[in-house]
């Protein structure tokens, strides 16, 4: 959530920053509500000061045995006004916060201008793109031929946008999860296994609500939601807390399934694993001091890249332009892995710095070691990595002419030494 003080002190600058994201609104109602709240607060403070003076006067009069009935009647009236005004302050504050919750984060000044992915800036490329001497197949063709991906039965069981991993497909997904978690643990990330369902407050903190409610799977009467990413429960682990400065940075790694309604008519992505309503992901979440957050973003990016480098999968890193970033992000890097069947790079990870945007929404602070006022910390998160898309990249980049798939060496210990996925017997209707 944007600090209301920023809007109050320099609304034109804030509005210009939001325009970079494609924001077309204004602050009319927000400014009016803020001014009304400040006026009410000033009136309440004056009445409370009057009440304190009257209380002291009444107390002194009683000690002296003097008449104070008139002052007591006045103090009762003042107390009633204070109560009414306090309620008005709360009502105004609640409306103001609802308005602020719909404003996206301010992009960092170094974020490129632009409103679509065409304006994203390539930062680097890594790896050697394999030159195939035979026609390449898509991951869907490969997975179905090998009997490790069953899209037909996934659709039968749950509808479009679902898949069933079978045999070495299921084992490969599990191996990737363990490989990723173990790799991140080596770098000081603490593994957590959070709930896969969260309450409304948690979705408000990370920015999924209220703006993106239609993308979430609501449970019952919308008091709970299936998580769209581990970012939501893990970030909310410290909601409403004041952390000691010496505990920062805090780094978590979590595996969860992710549930999103956004999959749909996406051209070639309607088939295969690129867009699914349910998919697995290992997520990294950081809680850091503000002055260290951009150094930590670079470190987060490197940790996500390291997974692809260990798997020897070619990729590139792009810096997202202001209009292509997520609602809560101040700055974002996307990692895009090379897919031979599409002859292009596709997103496999996003690494974002939210600055204090989520911390303000979730009231997450830290206390400086020397004492003093608690400060909103900064939150970051990144996919490291999306499991399904990593499987896509492995199947396509490691495919062989005979239809088999060679497995990257780092994964073989997690698969009992299996080096290659070969064709299984065709699936039968009754199998």
Is 389 catalytic? The answer is yes
Residue with tokens 């480098």: 309
d(C-alpha 227, C-alpha 261), whole Å = 11
Catalytic site residue from 20, 21, 37, 275: 275
Active-site residue flag, 260 = yes
Q: State the residue for tokens 């999306």.
A: 386
List the structure tokens of 420.
Answer: 């290659």
> What dihedral do alpha carbons 278, 279, 281, 285 form, nearest 10°?
-20
Name the pairing type of β-strands 242-244 and 365-367: parallel
Residue 347 a catalytic site member = yes
Angle at 101 between CA 96 and CA 102, to 5 degrees: 105
Q: CA-CA distance, 138 to 154, in Å (whole number)?
A: 18
Angle between helices 168-185 and 139-146 (to 10 degrees): 120
Residue 111 φ then ψ, to 5°: -70, 135
Catalytic residue among 97, 347, 400, 412: 347
CA distance 431 to 427: 6
As a whole number of angstroms, the distance between CA 61 and CA 69 comes to 10
- Cβ-based neighbours of 98, under 8 Å, separated by 6 or more: 210
The C-alpha angle with vertex 238 and arms to 200 and 219, in degrees rounded to 5, equals 20
d(CA 381, CA 353): 7
Under DSSP, the state recorded for 161 is T
The active-site residue out of 299, 350, 352, 383 is 350
Catalytic residue among 20, 166, 260, 361: 260
For 416, half-sphere exposure in the C-beta direction (CA atoms, 13 angstrom radius) is 3
416/328 Cα distance (integer angstroms): 42
| Catalytic annotation, pick one of 141, 383, 389, 396 | 389
Q: How far apart are CA 359 and CA 104, in angstroms?
A: 14
Q: Is the four-CA dihedral 321, 327, 329, 333 of positive or negative sign?
A: negative
Residue 205 to residue 144: CA distance in whole angstroms:
40
Instruction: Give the count of beta carbons closer than 10 Å to the beta carbon of residue 74.
Output: 15
Catalytic annotation, residues: 260, 275, 347, 350, 389
């Amino acid at each position: 959530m944007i600090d209301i003080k920023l809007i109050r002190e320099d609304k034109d600058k804030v509005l210009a920053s939001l325009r970079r994201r494609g924001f077309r609104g204004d602050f009319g109602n927000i400014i009016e509500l803020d001014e009304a709240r400040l006026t009410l607060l000033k009136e309440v403070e004056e009445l409370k000061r009057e009440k304190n003076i009257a209380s002291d006067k009444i107390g002194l009069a009683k000690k002296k045995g003097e008449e104070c009935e008139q002052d007591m009647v006045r103090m009762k009236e003042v107390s009633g006004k204070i109560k009414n005004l306090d309620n008005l302050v709360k009502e105004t504050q609640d409306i103001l916060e609802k308005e602020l919750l719909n404003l996206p984060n301010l992009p960092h000044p170094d974020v490129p201008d632009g409103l679509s992915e065409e304006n994203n800036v390539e930062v680097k490329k890594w790896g050697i793109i394999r030159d195939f001497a035979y026609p390449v197949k898509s991951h869907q063709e490969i997975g179905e031929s090998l009997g490790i991906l069953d899209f037909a039965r996934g659709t039968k069981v749950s509808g479009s946008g679902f898949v069933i991993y079978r045999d070495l497909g299921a084992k490969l997904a599990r191996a990737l999860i363990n490989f990723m978690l173990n790799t991140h643990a080596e770098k000081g990330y603490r593994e957590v296994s959070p709930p896969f369902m969260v309450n409304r407050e948690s979705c408000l903190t990370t920015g999924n609500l209220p703006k993106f409610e239609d993308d979430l799977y609501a449970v019952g009467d919308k008091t709970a939601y299936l998580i769209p990413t581990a970012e939501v429960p893990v970030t909310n682990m410290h909601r409403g807390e004041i952390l000691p400065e010496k505990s920062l940075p805090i780094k978590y790694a979590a595996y969860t399934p992710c549930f999103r309604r956004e999959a749909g008519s996406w051209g070639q992505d309607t088939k295969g694993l690129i867009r699914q309503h349910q998919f697995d992901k290992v997520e990294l979440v950081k809680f850091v001091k503000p002055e260290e957050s951009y150094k930590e973003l670079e470190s987060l990016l490197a940790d996500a890249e390291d997974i692809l480098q260990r798997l020897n999968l070619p990729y590139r890193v792009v810096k997202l332009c202001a209009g292509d970033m997520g609602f809560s992000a101040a700055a974002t890097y996307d990692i895009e892995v090379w897919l031979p069947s599409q002859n292009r790079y596709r997103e496999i990870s996003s690494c974002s710095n939210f600055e204090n945007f989520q911390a303000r929404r979730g009231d997450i602070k830290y206390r400086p070691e020397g004492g003093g006022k608690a400060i909103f910390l900064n939150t970051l998160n990144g996919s490291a990595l999306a499991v399904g898309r990593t499987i896509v990249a492995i199947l396509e980049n490691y495919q062989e002419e005979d239809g088999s798939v060679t497995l990257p060496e780092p994964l073989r210990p997690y698969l009992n030494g299996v080096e290659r996925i070969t064709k299984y017997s065709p699936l039968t209707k009754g199998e």
